[in-house]
Amino acid sequence: MKTFRLQLRFLLPLALVLVAAAYLSLPLVDQLTQRWFSRDLDIRGRLIANALADPLTQALAEGASPRVQALLERTVRDERLLALGLCAPDGRLLQASSAFPSELGCRAAAPAGSELSALHRTDGGPVHLRTQPLVIGGSHSADLVLVHDFSFVEHRSQDTRRYLLYLIVAMGASMALITMIVAQLSWRGWVAGARALLRGEGLVRPLAAPAPELAPLAAELRSRLRRLEDEYRRARGPEGPWDAPRLRQLLGTELSGQEVIVVSNREPYIHEHGAGGLEVKRPASGLVTAVEPVMRACAGTWVAHGSGSGDRDAVDSGDRVRVPPESGDYTLRRIWLTEEEERGYYYGFANEGLWPLCHVAHVRPVFRQSDWDSYRAVNQRFADAVAAEARSEDPIVLVQDYHFALLPAMLRERLPAATIITFWHIPWPNPEFFGICPWAPELLRGMLGSTILGFHTRHHCRNFMETVDRQLEARIEPEHDTIFHEGKETLIENYPISIDWPSEQAAAAWPPVPVCRDRVREHFGLGPDALIAVGVDRFDYTKGILERLYAVERMLEKHPELRGRFSLVQIAAPTRSALDEYRAFQRRISDLAERINARFGGPGHAPVHLVAEHHDHAALLELYRAADACVVTSLHDGMNLVSKEFVATRDDEQGVLVLSRFAGAAREMTEALIVNPYHVEETADALHRAITMPPQEQRERMASLRSTVHEFNVFRWAGRMLGDAARVRLRERIAQRVEGMSHG
Ligand code: ADQ
């Protein structure tokens, strides 16, 4: 009905145009036919007159009127020629064929001696007159008048008019029909196109280019949606506190019933065969620290490499185990890798290639073809496993870190409707530096399979966009933080990671600070007035442990009064020890620590306590709470969670954080003593200032740091990411509903 009314709008003007055309064209056609036939009759008349001229003039000259009469009668046997007459120059009718209309006479003809045609209406109908002068003996002596029947012209004109009318009506009908069909088809196409737009095709993720006539509408819709999203993101500013219940609420409302799958290399729980049978351990990893609370809140599935010696004994027949062991909140699905795969994908491409590439820590990245092949194959295996674990077509998949740069695009192929959020936990270097990777474009293409791509800082987001700009044919829209590549849109956003801020009950159960100090002093054999600095890291060259030791050495050179009183307790969890670079680095650190201890230590006192061991949560807590200063001197760090953990444990508001300006955390934690770890003198001075800082200044700085980390906690990190994912999904759902309504 709607389309019929729309079509009427086309048809009425069409009908009006056709009526006007008929009204104007019919008299014109009449005139034209009359003119054409008169001209025909003129030519015919002249021919007949010329043929008669000689015998007539001769018969007239001889005065033979019966011959004249016979000539006239014989000529009018032609079916169109009605009559012939001869007029004298004075206008008298001299002689005429028998059918000559009496009412005409010679008056109706042209003036004597002139050649002319005219139309006349007689009692018998319309006639055409033609006058032809006859010359006898050199002078004009009579006029021959030819009378042609003209009624047949009128009949033909009527016929022509009728046929023309039929033609106009037929043309009008066919034009109307064609218009209706075309209108119907294009309306359907248009509606389908608009629906596709609302679904987001050609708009949010232009899979196929929209129809050209829809392009302006698509552009308008796209820019409006974007503006709304931008406004939303900007308006987000300071928001209420985030905690586990709020994250659960988000998962229970905006993402209610949605499936969440995490994929990472490192598993959150490792089963090892120990003296007491199968033991469960938590690895030293910032990633696990951050993602675990999210998984507890949403009870999803975590897909990870099963690396523990007892991992296979802990899983069921589907390689799954419920974790944490005490509550079984979510499922851990383990993937098994061969030694060769681990060597190529993990140690090789990820840790000898991408890790130094992204950290710019002056360790040369190594790129081997075999490592790359292995990296690709393992990414594919994980992508297949995630697709197999998915119970829905559109799960939310959280891809973690640089081990899986290719996985997002691979997964997108398997689950096109999935919302893929990739978080890159390490820094992103500048485009020149990233360009040295032989497979830079492939890595970027893989990452751009994500719906959302997250980094810790805006600086890393910018570096990534510039790298894509150099390496790929992609449309980058910095004002919206998006990249369009191969018809897909990826939001590039910064989500600073953090820790799970300890609850009041948890904090109430902590041993008091003096107790912690006593225990640590006792454990390391330190004196009662000892000044304690702590360092807690994975034993990695990017953490600046070497630079930290140089700073300790320099401080003790400059401040001899601290010798015998100051100690750095450096906890370093062994990591990637299978790599030469790491083993050499760890040896160098041990040698340096020994040298410093030899230089400034004494009987029963060592300025550096290097403990290359993994510590449990309680041991770390004790250490953080016992410290006068915590030293974080990363040469480059995506964020660094140790700095935040230290602050979180200091509810006594004492203790000073010395923090590298090259750690992402330095952007938020501005009340720390910020240092350039490459600058030994500056770092040594900052360390000295930290351990001698008056308690009041410590309190002011620590209180401010605590309120920052409390607010910017890990639930905010996850909540913002999942909130963005929920918005993308909501947008797609609205489009589907609009489509449903227009069907109805
Ligand atoms: P990491 O390089 O692992 O993380 P970091 O953020 O400092 O660095 O996290 C280390 C984690 O391991 C902390 O939770 C710490 O408590 C724990 N840890 C360190 N040494 C330990 C030890 N000896 N025993 C027990 N636990 C220990 C990567 C990036 C970081 C980013 C995180 C999170 O390199 O920049 O902050 O991911 O995104």
- For the chain, give every domain's residue range: 33-156, 244-494, 504-712
The distance of Cα 396 from the centroid of its chain, to the nearest Å, equals 17
Tell me if 244-494 shares its fold with 504-712. yes
Instruction: Report the 10 Å Cβ neighbour count for 645.
Output: 22
- Is residue 400 pLDDT above 80, yes or no? yes
pLDDT digits (tens, 9 = 90+) for 166-192: 888 888 888 878 877 777 777 777 667
CA pair distance 600, 546, nearest whole angstrom: 17
Q: In this predicted structure, what is the pLDDT of residue 678? A: 97
Q: Is 642 in the pocket of ligand 1 (CB under 6 A)?
A: yes
Q: Give the atom of ligand 1 at the shortest distance from the alpha carbon of 632.
A: 7
Q: Is 205 helix (H, G, I), strand (E, B) or coil?
A: strand
DSSP-assigned beta bridge partners for residue 569: 534, 609
Backbone phi, psi, residue 169, to 5°: -65, -45
Q: Is 292 in the pocket of ligand 1 (CB under 6 A)?
A: no
Q: In this predicted structure, what is the pLDDT of residue 204? A: 43
- Is residue 12 pLDDT above 60, yes or no? yes
Q: Which of 425, 540, 548 to mutate to test the pocket of ligand 1 (most atoms within 8 A of CB)?
A: 425
> Sorting pLDDT into bands at 50, 70 and 90, what band is 107?
low
User: What does the DSSP 8-state code read for residue 287?
Assistant: H
CATH of 504-712, one of 3.10.450.50, 3.50.50.60, 3.40.50.970, 3.40.50.2000: 3.40.50.2000
Q: Give the atom of ligand 1 at the shortest distance from the alpha carbon of 287.
A: 33
Q: Is 426 in the pocket of ligand 1 (CB under 6 A)?
A: yes
- Protein residue whose Cα sits closest to atom 38 of ligand 1: 425
> Sorting pLDDT into bands at 50, 70 and 90, what band is 153?
confident
The amino acid that residue 118 corresponds to is A
Distances (CA, A) of 694 to 188, 691, 700: 77, 9, 10
Q: Is 502 helix (H, G, I), strand (E, B) or coil?
A: coil
Angle of helix 151-199 relative to helix 714-743, nearest 10 degrees, comes to 160
CA pair distance 298, 256, nearest whole angstrom: 10
Per mean pLDDT, which of 397-401, 486-490, 739-743 is the most reliable? 397-401
Q: Is 497 in the pocket of ligand 1 (CB under 6 A)?
A: yes
CA pair distance 681, 686, nearest whole angstrom: 9
CATH homologous superfamily of 244-494 equals Glycogen Phosphorylase B; (3.40.50.2000)
pLDDT digits (tens, 9 = 90+) for 323-352: 999 999 999 999 999 999 999 999 999 999
Q: Is 538 in the pocket of ligand 1 (CB under 6 A)?
A: yes
- Identify the CA nearest to 145 among candidates 115, 122, 102: 115
Q: Is 666 in the pocket of ligand 1 (CB under 6 A)?
A: no
Exposed e or buried b for every residue in 293-313, given b needs 16+ CB within 10 A?
A: bbbbbbebbbbbbbbbebbee
Burial of 682 (0-12, 13-18, 19+ CB in 10 A): middle
- Protein residue whose Cα sits closest to atom 13 of ligand 1: 286
Q: Is 537 in the pocket of ligand 1 (CB under 6 A)?
A: yes
Q: Which two tokens stand for residue 684?
A: 């040594």
Ligand 1 centroid – CA 660 distance (Å): 15
Q: Which of 576, 640, 709 to mutate to test the pocket of ligand 1 (most atoms within 8 A of CB)?
A: 640
Ligand 1 centroid – CA 614 distance (Å): 11
Q: In this predicted structure, what is the pLDDT of residue 121? A: 79
Q: Is 287 in the pocket of ligand 1 (CB under 6 A)?
A: yes
Q: Give the atom of ligand 1 at the shortest distance from the alpha carbon of 615.
A: 24
CA pair distance 711, 501, nearest whole angstrom: 9
* Percent of the chain whose pLDDT exceeds 90: 57
- Topology given in CATH for the domain delimited by 33-156: Beta-Lactamase (3.30.450)
Q: Is 638 in the pocket of ligand 1 (CB under 6 A)?
A: yes
Least confident of 221-225, 291-295, 469-473, 673-677: 221-225
- Is residue 742 pLDDT above 70, yes or no? no
Q: Is 573 in the pocket of ligand 1 (CB under 6 A)?
A: yes
Q: Which two tokens stand for residue 480?
A: 């919206």
- Protein residue whose Cα sits closest to atom 35 of ligand 1: 638
Ligand 1 centroid – CA 171 distance (Å): 81
Mean pLDDT of 359-381: 95
User: What does the DSSP 8-state code read for residue 511?
Assistant: P
- Is residue 11 pLDDT above 80, yes or no? no
